[in-house]
Structure 1
Amino acid sequence: MPLDPGAQSVLDLIRAAGRPPLHQLTPAEARAVNVAARPVLQPDPPAVAAVQNLACPGPAGPVPLRHYRSRGTTTGSVLPCLLYLHGGGWVIGDLDSHDQICRSLANHLGAAVIAVDYRLAPEARFPAAVEDAVAALRFVVAQAAQLAIDPTRIAVGGDSAGGNLAAVLALMGRDGSVPAPGFQMLLYPATDMAGNTPSTQRFTEGYPLTAAGMRWFIDHYVPDRAQRIDWRASPLRAASLAGTAAAFVMTCGHDPLLDEGLAYARRLDEEGVHVAHLHVADQMHAYLGMGRMIPAADLTLRQAAAALRLHWGLD
């Protein structure tokens, strides 16, 4: 299917700016480009009832968190919670890069969202991001009363690299090594470090994420090739997905991660996990953070939120 006109406008803008491909940049340069692009691509962040910066103990020091409360909720009201892991290839991104997405999800959910600022590669390589995600989930469950969160309705979610981390948390919860989340929201997730699917070969240039860009991310995050088959890096390689939390998986058509996202949704279904799969055929990777130019971004966030609200019994 042809690319959405808004997404095509983003590609035209990137081309006109003469921005080098991601894999030709250093991590510091890539982060600076990401920061500069935010006001151009992201819509104004919506108002919420409350925002609070927090931190939880982590294996290498405090892990910054940001707690959002949905517009229309009252102080002290006990809310369900989505623990959100941002995308950015485990190299880029922070609490600010996904502030607008987290605010929108909080409002669409009518719930709380807690975003996690996990350590980034190459400064902190695999499994540092996993360890920080684990610390955040344990903290939210342990401090649920103080955070005014319903401990029986905690979900995990994220986009791209964050979807990878959320899937890993769901597997760990199934196995009992962390508190088990009740739901996993996986938005164009990375699920396999092999990077040899047909969709990886199709998207080689001209997109925000290409095959070379994905190799750049993986080389920074998991430089040891032997570790790439670890299911904590490649959840698609877990021996079984049975018994993991109910899932919402979103894939998009113009995305090198398409096939591994499809494979993950298919395996969840085949192994008895309740899964809703949304495929957005005319969109490209990372479009959820481009809502100023791609109005469909907010529609997708609403659809993801609707699936979680249904699971929580809010609709």
Structure 2
Amino acid sequence: MTSLAALAAALGVFAGLAAARRHRRVCVVPPELRHPSLYVPISLRGATSLRIARRLIARAASAAVVTGAVRLRSERVPAAGGRPAVRVLVYEPPDRTRPSGALLWIHGGGLVMGTPEQGHELCSRVVEELGVVVASVDYRLAPEHPFPAGLEDCYAALAWLAAQADALGIDPTRVAIGGDSAGGGLAACLAQLAHDRGGPAISFQLLQYPMLDDRTALRAGLDAFVWTQTSNRFGWSAYLGGLRDAEPRPYASAARRVDLRGLPPAWIGIGDIDLFHAECVDYANRLRAAGVPCELYVVPGMYHGADRLAPAAPITRTFLERMTSALAAATSSRPGRRV
């Protein structure tokens, strides 16, 4: 056998072993959540893969539509400290009881990709079912704009919601914040930042499989479907300017905060095979220990972003129903809680 043939045979063996390992891993996923992409792991590794991923997300987002009779408009909101204005998408029901509650939504994308348009379906659903206003933030992304750029954009949007409460017809005591994946992690950091700055008021944190702890990227032997450890390392490194054991900057990573007392009540939803499962469970337990009401909803066999790949599956539909119900309770007409 020639050296080239031997190499090809060895590569074939390794590829076969890798495929077998992936097949065994997929077997732990409930049949209704299995998707072809689970068999072909794709990770962010550098500028080229990020550029491709951004292009694909932008293409998908451009095809997303606002559902029902929801009204959508775009606003440019001011930011402090000479920072550029922030684009915010505002979703409103055609008629609602004023003042209503509101949700500031922060999209996911590993801190390095994504647009608010990708959340059209979810934001429309919240508006239609709950009769609230939703504002979705187009925050700046790493690596072009590392920490704290994106977080400060989210704070600017929150401050604008509070300042324009009368004009928007919202109750400033019933403003919730939330996000999915990296957006959930930014929402958790935003709750900490608003608490320490004395406002604006936040009534609730809605954290959908949030990206809370950069230290997960430092752990060996971890991997998961969809958002892989390789992607996780790339995202955190781009956002923070590298991975390190010690991170002294407050609000860089929500889970690094020691004192969680006084934060708004929270809902955290996560699958037990999601890369972020351990950090989400730990953060929920720490919130509770600090006296912060927190509902933790863990879904067996659910991977990261399963609601996007299998939206019709009963498991993901129940997951979104639980999330919407938690938000409904927080944005109802009962008095809200201030930070």
Out of 197, 203, 212, the residue aligned to residue 191 of structure 1 is 212
Alignment partner, residue 220 of structure 1 = 238
Alignment partner, residue 130 of structure 1 = 151
Secondary structure class of the residue paired with 2:205: strand
| Alpha-carbon displacement from aligned partner over 1:8-29 (angstroms, at most 9, x marks no partner) | 12435x73xxx84332643221
How do 1:27-66 residues align onto structure 2 when only pairs under 5 Å count? 27-36=50-59, 45-58=66-79, 59-66=82-89
Secondary structure class of the residue paired with 1:278: strand
Is contact 1:137–1:178 with CA below 8 Å preserved after alignment?
no
Secondary structure class of the residue paired with 1:255: coil
Amino acid at match of 2:231: G
| Alpha-carbon displacement from aligned partner over 1:107-133 (angstroms, at most 9, x marks no partner) | 232211110000011111111011101
Equivalents in 1 of 2:252, 2:195: separation in Å? 17
Secondary structure class of the residue paired with 2:35: helix
Alignment partner, residue 240 of structure 1 = 259
Is contact 2:86–2:139 with CA below 8 Å preserved after alignment?
yes
Amino acid at match of 1:260: E
Shift of 1:240: 0.7
Q: Which moved more, 1:95-104 or 1:217-226?
A: 217-226
Equivalents in 1 of 2:204, 2:68: separation in Å? 26
Shift of 1:293: 5.5
Equivalents in 1 of 2:222, 2:136: separation in Å? 32
Secondary structure class of the residue paired with 2:292: coil
Equivalents in 1 of 2:124, 2:227: separation in Å? 24
Equivalents in 1 of 2:212, 2:159: separation in Å? 23
Is contact 1:133–1:169 with CA below 8 Å preserved after alignment?
yes
Amino acid at match of 1:201: G
TM-score (normalised: structure 2): 0.81
Secondary structure class of the residue paired with 2:161: helix
Shift of 1:278: 0.6
Is contact 1:158–1:166 with CA below 8 Å preserved after alignment?
yes
Shift of 1:270: 1.0
Task: Report the structure number with the largest CA radius of gyration.
Answer: 2
How do 1:115-264 residues align onto structure 2 when only pairs under 5 Å count? 115-195=136-216, 201-203=221-223, 207-225=225-243, 228-264=247-283
Equivalents in 1 of 2:301, 2:126: separation in Å? 22
Equivalents in 2 of 1:82, 1:129: separation in Å? 18
Equivalents in 2 of 1:302, 1:108: separation in Å? 10
Shift of 1:170: 1.2
Shift of 1:197: 7.8
Alignment partner, residue 306 of structure 1 = 325
Alignment partner, residue 7 of structure 1 = 33
Equivalents in 1 of 2:98, 2:190: separation in Å? 26
Alignment partner, residue 15 of structure 2 = none
TM-score (normalised: structure 1): 0.87
Amino acid at match of 1:308: L
Shift of 1:134: 0.7
Shift of 1:283: 1.2
Shift of 1:49: 3.0
**Count, aligned residues:** 304
Is contact 1:63–1:118 with CA below 8 Å preserved after alignment?
yes
Consecutive unaligned residues of structure 2, counting only runs of 5 or more, are: 1-26, 335-339
- Computed over aligned residues only, the root mean square deviation of the Cα atoms, in angstroms, reads 2.6
Out of 294, 307, 310, the residue aligned to residue 288 of structure 1 is 307
Amino acid at match of 1:256: L
Is contact 1:23–1:212 with CA below 8 Å preserved after alignment?
yes
Matched, 1:68 2:88: no
Amino acid at match of 2:132: A
* Structure 1 residues 231 and 201: CA distance shift in structure 2, 3 A: farther
Shift of 1:272: 0.5
| Alpha-carbon displacement from aligned partner over 1:244-300 (angstroms, at most 9, x marks no partner) | 001111111221111111111110111100111111122111223335464543432
Alignment partner, residue 117 of structure 2 = 96
Is contact 2:236–2:243 with CA below 8 Å preserved after alignment?
no
Consecutive unaligned residues of structure 1, counting only runs of 5 or more, are: none
